[in-house]
Amino acid sequence: MIFVAKQVLGLVKMKLLKRCPLVIMLAVSTLVLTLTAHANREGRYREYQKRQNMTPMLSAVFEGAKDGVFPWSREDDTLLTMADAAPEEGAAGEEGPQGGEESISEKPPSGNDTDAAAPKEDDADGEGEGEEQTGEGGNTESEPFPEAEETAVSESGSGAKEEGTEQAGGTEPVTGEMPSGQGVEEENGAPWTEEAWNEDLTYDYVPVDETYLDDALFIGDSRTQGLFEYGGLEDHAVFYCKTSLTIYDLFKNDLAFIKTNSGNQTLTQALSERQFGKIYLMLGINEMGTGTPESFFTEYAKAVLKIRELQPNAILFVQGIMHVATQKNAADPIFNNFNIDVRNVEIQTLENKRDIFYLDVNEVVCDENGNLFDDWTFDQVHLKGKYYQIWKDFLLQHGIVRTQG
Partner 1 sequence: MAGIGTETLDSLNTLVFSSLEFLFRYLPLFLLILFLIPKKMRCLWLLAYSLLLYWAGEPGYVFLLLGMAVVNFLFGLSLEVRKSASLEAPEETAKGQPFWEQRTEVRPVGEWQELFLRDPEEDSPRRKILFILAVSCNLLLLAWFKLNNAFDKSFLLPVGLSFYIFKNLSYLSDVYRGTIPAEHSPVRFGAYLCMFPQIVSGPIMRYSDALKGFCFEHRFSLYRLESGVKRIAAGLAAKVLIADRLGILWNDLQTIGFESISTPLAWLGAAGYSLQLYFDFWGYSMIAVGIGEMIGLPVIRNFHHPYAARSVSEFYRRWHMTLGNFFRDYVYIPLGGNRKGMVRTVCNLLFVWLLTGLWHGNSVNFLLWGLLLGLLVAAERLALRPFLENHRLLSHLYVLVVLPLTWMVFAIPSLSEMGIYFLRLFPLAGRPAAVNPGDFLKELKIFAPTLLAAAVFCVPAVGRWCERHKNNTAVIIALFFLFWLSVYQMANAVNNPFMYANF
Q: Which residues bind partner 1 (CB under 8 A)?
A: 3-4, 7, 11, 14, 16, 19-23, 25-26, 29-30, 51-52, 54-56, 58-59, 62-63, 65-66, 106, 222-223, 225-226, 229-230, 232, 243-244, 286, 289, 335, 377-379, 381-382, 384-389
Is the Cβ of residue 80 or residue 381 nearer to partner 1 in the bound state?
Answer: 381
Is the Cβ of residue 280 or residue 358 nearer to partner 1 in the bound state?
Answer: 280
Is the Cβ of residue 107 or residue 308 nearer to partner 1 in the bound state?
Answer: 107
The torsion angles phi and psi of 263, rounded to 5 degrees, stand at: 110, -175
Q: How near is the Cβ of 102 to partner 1 at its closest, in Å? A: 11
Q: How near is the Cβ of 8 to partner 1 at its closest, in Å? A: 9
Query: Nearest 5°: CA angle at 146, between 256 and 165?
Result: 85
Is the Cβ of residue 109 or residue 385 nearer to partner 1 in the bound state?
Answer: 385
Is the Cβ of residue 306 or residue 382 nearer to partner 1 in the bound state?
Answer: 382
Is the Cβ of residue 140 or residue 243 nearer to partner 1 in the bound state?
Answer: 243
Q: How near is the Cβ of 232 to partner 1 at its closest, in Å? A: 7
Is the Cβ of residue 109 or residue 173 nearer to partner 1 in the bound state?
Answer: 109
Q: How near is the Cβ of 258 to partner 1 at its closest, in Å? A: 17
Q: How near is the Cβ of 176 to partner 1 at its closest, in Å? A: 32
How far is 154 from 210, CA to CA, in rounded Å?
58
Q: How near is the Cβ of 199 to partner 1 at its closest, in Å? A: 42
- What's the per-residue H, E or C state across the chain? CHHHHHHHHHHHHCCHHHHCHHHHHHHHHHHHHHHHHHHCCCCCCCCCCCCCCCCCCCHHHHHHHHCCCCCCCCHHHHHHHHHCCCCCCCCCHHHCCHHHHHHHHHCCCCCCHHHHHHHHHHHHHHHHHHHCCHHHHHHHHHCCCCCCHHHHHHHHHHHHHHHHHHHHHHHHHHHHHHHHHHHHHHHHHCHHHHHHHHHCCCCCCECCCHHHHHHEEEEECHHHHHHHHHCCCCCCCEEEECCCCCHHHHCCCCCCCEEECCEEECHHHHHHHCCCCEEEEECCCCCCCCCCHHHHHHHHHHHHHHHHHHCCCCEEEEECCCCCEHHHHHHCCCCCHHHHHHHHHHHHCCCCCCCEEEECCHHHHECCCCCECHHHECCCCCECHHHHHHHHHHHHHCECCCCCC
**Are the CB atoms for 211 and 403 separated by under 8 Å?**
no
Q: How near is the Cβ of 373 to partner 1 at its closest, in Å? A: 12
Is the Cβ of residue 10 or residue 263 nearer to partner 1 in the bound state?
Answer: 10
Q: How near is the Cβ of 54 to partner 1 at its closest, in Å? A: 4
Is the Cβ of residue 130 or residue 231 nearer to partner 1 in the bound state?
Answer: 231
Q: How near is the Cβ of 3 to partner 1 at its closest, in Å? A: 7
How many Cβ atoms sit within 10 Å of the Cβ of residue 241? 21
Is the Cβ of residue 34 or residue 313 nearer to partner 1 in the bound state?
Answer: 34
Picking from 249, 241, 245, the residue whose alpha carbon sits closest to that of residue 218 is 241
Q: How near is the Cβ of 84 to partner 1 at its closest, in Å? A: 24
